[in-house]
Structure 1
Amino acid sequence: MRAYLAGALFCLLTAAAAAAAPSATAPCPDCSLVLIGLDDVRADRVKAASMPRLERFARDAAVFTQAVSPAPWTLPAFVSLFTALHPSHHGVVNRYSDPSVDPPVPAVLGKSAPGARTLADVLRAKGFRTAAFTGGAGLSGASGLSSGFEVYADSRSFGGFDLSVPEALAWLETRKAGERFFLFVHGYDAHGFHAGHFPPEEDERFRSRRDEGIGGARPPADREERGRRERRYDEALGRLDRNLAPLLDRLDRPELRGKVVVAVVGDHGEELFEHGGVDHGLTLYDELLRVPLLLRVPGVKGRRVGFQVRTLDLMPTLLELLGAAPDPALAAQMEGVSLLPALRGETMTLDAFSETDFLLHASLRSLRTADGWKGIYDRRTQKTQVFRPASDPGERRDLAAKAPARRQELEGRILAAFDQEPLAPGAQAVVSGRWKKVREGGEVWLFDLWQDPLRGMSKVQAQRPAAVPPEILEKMRREGYW
């Protein structure tokens, strides 16, 4: 993972670079793009029984069965998807900066990574009409995700495809003949809480379990509780599938089928008690990192791709498909690679790095290698777990003691990759290895996370609510981030 370019130099390169002409060799140089974001959908639960419409779509698509997200929650995962930058490099992390800092400020892409361009920025500059219809909450346009979109709908909190799809369909009717467009449609149908769909006592139990996990406790669930949670999650996926169906049906009509690239991608998965917890954001096990990734390209046959790819490879892939070749500055920005070789049947070798930053649980870093090994390093304990996901998909057998050489290799690569996590201009807190620096008022405090992990990492900071404006605390509680 290469170091991110310095902000000033990056801005200079971006401003100076000339826009490239569409490539005549692109598979679909005249196509438009529809990107569908499935929030909180894990790859191993996408099945015909619960999601028949998406399964039907998949027959004509490239299905990447080992797609890995760089983050286990919504905001940094989608910013990575839209910029092809790892979370440590785009800096849009920890939804609200350290809650002990007065006042807490949401991360904003334009400030954390000056000059970084999004997929929408690039396509709009190429003449595409651009629109996004999202479920709001973690996809608030205030984060910088709205950059490049002429229309960016984010007014609902945790809205589903039942709301965003009708809006997207109405917007499609406004397009002019021959006009290229980029449409992003997103829904929270499978996300965490399912208020109004299930008994209140189940929602309350879920919230209680989630809060226990945020506080560091992971009591085991019995078979009945785990089974109930799995069934509820699959029911939510079924609703998602039904709500998404009208958009997929519209994209199947002849006037669009041969002229639109359609990408369907998840941002992160969901814990269903595999490692003692529910919800997402706090760990780097595969139930949170492996996500659906499907790509339908006019004139390209569907296929299943079994080797590992990353969701941050999607942006360079789509740009090449659409004939929007990146200029030198954009090519330098993107840490993903184009997956067009995979569409041609070629094998690619891609390692995947991921990281946590959610609710101050920022200590985990992972590497999932192309040859089938996975390491999860905890900066608080300085310990590394080692797994073989292919033979141990539930990541139950830690091989660190049995494979010390492999553990050392994985740990060394993780430490090297995340050694220098840049502090954004004006940032109020930074975690780097062992130390956390926080500015509070006119003072700068330094915390040793190995000796005092809770002070730097966990919910104990809620004991200092006087530093946080009441309206921000209430918003965080209401949206499930506190």
Structure 2
Amino acid sequence: MSGRDQGGRSGGLRLLSRLLSRREWAYVLALLVPFVGLNLALKASRASALGSGGAGYTGFLAPDLLFCAGYALLWVGLFAAFRSGWGRWCVVVLFHASAVVVALLTVAAYRFFAVTGSRLDLDTVLYFLSSPGEVAPVVASEASPVLFAAVAAALLYALLGPGLLAWAVGGGGSSRPNPRPTWRAPAVAGLWALVFVSLSALVGAARGPSDGMLSGSPPVELVAAEVGHLGAARTYGVDAARVRENLPTATSLKPTPGAEKRNVVLISLESTRARSVTPYNRNLKTTPFLDGLSGESILAERAYAVTPHTTNALTATVCGIDPPDREETESLGDRIPSRCLPELLDDQGYKSAFFQSVKEDFERRPQVAKNMGYEDFYSLEDMNTTGFERANYFGYEDDAMLGPSREWLEQNGEKPFFATYNTITPHHQYLAPEGRHGRKDFAEDDQLNRYQNSVRYLDFFVENLIRQYKEMGLYEDTVFVIQGDHGEAFGEHGRYQHDNVIWEEGIRIPLMVLDPSRPASRVKAPVNQLDVLPTVADLLGYRIEGGEYPGRSIVDPLPEDRAIKASCWYENECVASVKGDEKYVYHYGARPEELYDLSEDPSEKNNVAADAPPGYLKARREELLRWRAEVEAAYGEGPGS
């Protein structure tokens, strides 16, 4: 070895020794090396699962390598800057805490993305932390005991491992005194840390969205998403005060000469997409009973959810107004800026009840139902589950509602009433109860097949409920609204479940109105859940006074080019609008805009946004963003609130 090489090597060692002592290096590297290894292993594992290898790994790993380099330099610099005393103790505590938190976030981000296809953001993390009772069963359903044991072991090592290793390196004795603190080297390390983390963000952003892959390092993506959300928060000239002045908060029903006080029943089909029920997919024999009912009903051929999440969908349906995004979901138990169907019908002498075979505290559902105006509320805690199977981590199969339903109808069926049955069986985990009805083979994929069987179960539940009404002599005097609250995805566009699925599998729903006093008909124009409240008022013979709801009665002729809008549950994640056969999707810059011709491309495989006329996409985007700003203003979150 040449003298120059030896000198360079010894110079490098002297520089390292000036930064930290041997024991300090052992301490820092004992935590940094596993931290870096975890990050890279998770990304490499994901890339390998997608069949990427060789040179492909370099592109996938680059953002993570840069982030890990920056993270390591940051802590080396801090350890070098604070040599002793309280400063050093603070650095040690923060070092361990940040490594644990960032590692947990990274593991959670990869697992969350694998399960849902969505990227973890700060709002999701805060939601998980603030709702442990709701989130714990969900997490448990996706985490094996082996994973929990591995996380526990990793946490134990993170707390004790570095200290033990440093003690072993030092031979159990005291280390040499720390050199006098110098700020030059730590400052350089901190500067390079900032450079590497910034490069990580730039490289991840440059890669752009990739199906099945997190493009950047999860911690950097988490921060970048929040920055992007802040940048998307524009007012678009919305007058918040005027928006709130025009909300239907003082509405009432005025009987017309033909008004009839008939019963109204809303059956909300959990996670039920249109393509998975027989009336909308003749090749899939999941719901023969619903198929028969569709021949007797007003069937909306193209119906959409406003937001693919249950509480939000109920707000759109029962209250007739656009629902808020995720951040405001729970606050619906405190305020809904509208008079909802139970309140409107209560003025006309109606009783009301809400039934669900789900635990009552989910998303503060009792408070939400009360705020909507329901008099009586029944949840899983009010039901005898003996003989019924668990449908998922939230509740039991929906037939558990039949007993309480019959009891309530026996007590209240003499007066007109509004009853809502909120089903749960097709929700993830898709356990598909098979005790009474068995299972059939609808798909090769096990998860999709369990889901299709769960939808099949709903067909039996609706049949049993309709039979109950017939046996009690209530059928002929009841209007039944049967609709999906939202759809469900199985990777058709890289996402799973429903919260952030803006494509047809996520928001296209079944919707039929069964009125025994009216002949069957078909509605070809696009409709959505906002149209339910005006339709019910129309069928009962009432005129709405004191304000306007944004929906339209589907009994009346509707323009086929009307604009139907939808948004994801996550704030500033995605929005869409359907006009005629044309559907536009905007992802707030996280991925390219999309435009589809649904008449030629119902599965949304061919994005024709590049062929749109100049300015067309911008106009569609501005229309949607202004709509969301108005919704935020309605719930007191807009400018001037």
TM-score (norm 2): 0.54
Please say which of residues 35-44 and 131-140 is displaced more in the overlay.
Answer: 131-140
Pair 1:24-2:257 in alignment: yes
1 CA distance for matches of 2:529 and 2:635? 27
| Deviations, residues 260-308 of structure 1 (Å, cap 9, x unaligned) | 1111011100002211222111121010111010101132111232221
Pair 1:341-2:550 in alignment: no
Distance 1:423-1:306 versus aligned 2 partners, 3 A rule: closer
Q: Which amino acid aligns with 1:62?
A: I
Superposed displacement of residue 61, structure 1: 0.7
Pair 1:108-2:332 in alignment: yes
Q: Which amino acid aligns with 2:430?
A: H
Superposed displacement of residue 234, structure 1: 1.1
Indicate if the aligned counterparts of 2:240 and 2:634 stay in contact, CA closer than 8 A. no
As a proportion of its length, which structure holds more strand?
A: 1
Equivalent position to 2:522, from 304, 316, 328: 304
Equivalent position to 1:46, from 277, 280, 283: 277
Indicate if the aligned counterparts of 2:302 and 2:526 stay in contact, CA closer than 8 A. yes
1 CA distance for matches of 2:272 and 2:413? 34
Q: How does 1:342-357 map to 2 (within 5 A)?
A: 342=557, 349-357=561-569
2:183 alignment partner in structure 1: none
Superposed displacement of residue 399, structure 1: 0.6
Superposed displacement of residue 318, structure 1: 0.3
| Deviations, residues 141-182 of structure 1 (Å, cap 9, x unaligned) | 2235653111112345344322223321221122354x2111
Equivalent position to 1:266, from 480, 484, 487: 484
Indicate if the aligned counterparts of 1:341 and 1:347 stay in contact, CA closer than 8 A. no
1:134 alignment partner in structure 2: 356
Indicate if the aligned counterparts of 2:244 and 2:633 stay in contact, CA closer than 8 A. no
| Deviations, residues 214-255 of structure 1 (Å, cap 9, x unaligned) | xxxxxxxxxx99733322111111122223321112334593
1:173 alignment partner in structure 2: 410
Superposed displacement of residue 108, structure 1: 2.4
Pair 1:248-2:469 in alignment: no
Superposed displacement of residue 376, structure 1: 0.7
Superposed displacement of residue 62, structure 1: 1.1
Pair 1:74-2:310 in alignment: yes
Pair 1:193-2:424 in alignment: no
Greater relative contact order (CA < 8 Å, ≥ 6 in sequence): 1
1:368 alignment partner in structure 2: 578
Q: Which amino acid aligns with 2:355?
A: F
For the pair shown, the structure with the greater C-alpha radius of gyration is 2
Distance 1:281-1:129 versus aligned 2 partners, 3 A rule: same
Distance 1:336-1:392 versus aligned 2 partners, 3 A rule: same
1 CA distance for matches of 2:522 and 2:397? 28
2 CA distance for matches of 1:146 and 1:160? 26
Indicate if the aligned counterparts of 1:365 and 1:414 stay in contact, CA closer than 8 A. yes
2 CA distance for matches of 1:282 and 1:20? 36
2 CA distance for matches of 1:262 and 1:30? 14
2 CA distance for matches of 1:426 and 1:317? 28
Q: How does 1:150-161 map to 2 (within 5 A)?
A: 150-155=375-380, 157-161=394-398
Please say which of residues 415-424 and 285-294 is displaced more in the overlay.
Answer: 415-424
Indicate if the aligned counterparts of 1:363 and 1:380 stay in contact, CA closer than 8 A. no
**Structure 1 vs Structure 2 CA RMSD:** 3.1
Report the 3-state secondary structure (helix = DSSP H, G, I; strand = E; otherwise coil) of the residue aligned with 1:326. strand
| Deviations, residues 396-428 of structure 1 (Å, cap 9, x unaligned) | 11111122444344223323433445357786x
Distance 1:423-1:30 versus aligned 2 partners, 3 A rule: closer
| Deviations, residues 91-133 of structure 1 (Å, cap 9, x unaligned) | 3x31x56xxxxxxx9322543x44x211111111211011110
2 CA distance for matches of 1:153 and 1:72? 23
Indicate if the aligned counterparts of 1:108 and 1:144 stay in contact, CA closer than 8 A. no
2 CA distance for matches of 1:289 and 1:259? 31
Indicate if the aligned counterparts of 1:310 and 1:352 stay in contact, CA closer than 8 A. yes
Report the 3-state secondary structure (helix = DSSP H, G, I; strand = E; otherwise coil) of the residue aligned with 1:387. strand
Indicate if the aligned counterparts of 2:425 and 2:432 stay in contact, CA closer than 8 A. no
Report the 3-state secondary structure (helix = DSSP H, G, I; strand = E; otherwise coil) of the residue aligned with 1:108. helix
2 CA distance for matches of 1:144 and 1:366? 28
Indicate if the aligned counterparts of 2:351 and 2:417 stay in contact, CA closer than 8 A. yes
Pair 1:384-2:596 in alignment: no
Q: Which amino acid aligns with 2:546?
A: P
Pair 1:59-2:291 in alignment: no
Indicate if the aligned counterparts of 2:535 and 2:553 stay in contact, CA closer than 8 A. yes
Distance 1:238-1:51 versus aligned 2 partners, 3 A rule: same
Equivalent position to 2:620, from 403, 410, 416: 410
Q: How does 1:414-433 map to 2 (within 5 A)?
A: 414-422=624-632
Pair 1:147-2:372 in alignment: yes
Please say which of residues 304-313 and 61-70 is displaced more in the overlay.
Answer: 304-313
Runs ≥4 in structure 1, deviation > 4 angstroms? 1-11, 195-198, 346-349, 423-427
2:602 alignment partner in structure 1: 393
Indicate if the aligned counterparts of 1:169 and 1:247 stay in contact, CA closer than 8 A. no
Aligned residue-pair number: 375
Report the 3-state secondary structure (helix = DSSP H, G, I; strand = E; otherwise coil) of the residue aligned with 2:455. helix
1 CA distance for matches of 2:598 and 2:626? 23
How much identity, in percent, do the aligned residues show? 21
Report the 3-state secondary structure (helix = DSSP H, G, I; strand = E; otherwise coil) of the residue aligned with 1:143. helix
Indicate if the aligned counterparts of 1:158 and 1:187 stay in contact, CA closer than 8 A. no
1 CA distance for matches of 2:243 and 2:582? 34
Superposed displacement of residue 10, structure 1: 6.3
Indicate if the aligned counterparts of 2:501 and 2:507 stay in contact, CA closer than 8 A. no
1 CA distance for matches of 2:623 and 2:349? 41
2 CA distance for matches of 1:188 and 1:285? 22
2 CA distance for matches of 1:122 and 1:20? 6
| Deviations, residues 413-466 of structure 1 (Å, cap 9, x unaligned) | 323433445357786xx8x9xxxxxxxxxxxxxxxxxxxxxxxxxxxxxxxxxx
Indicate if the aligned counterparts of 1:36 and 1:185 stay in contact, CA closer than 8 A. yes
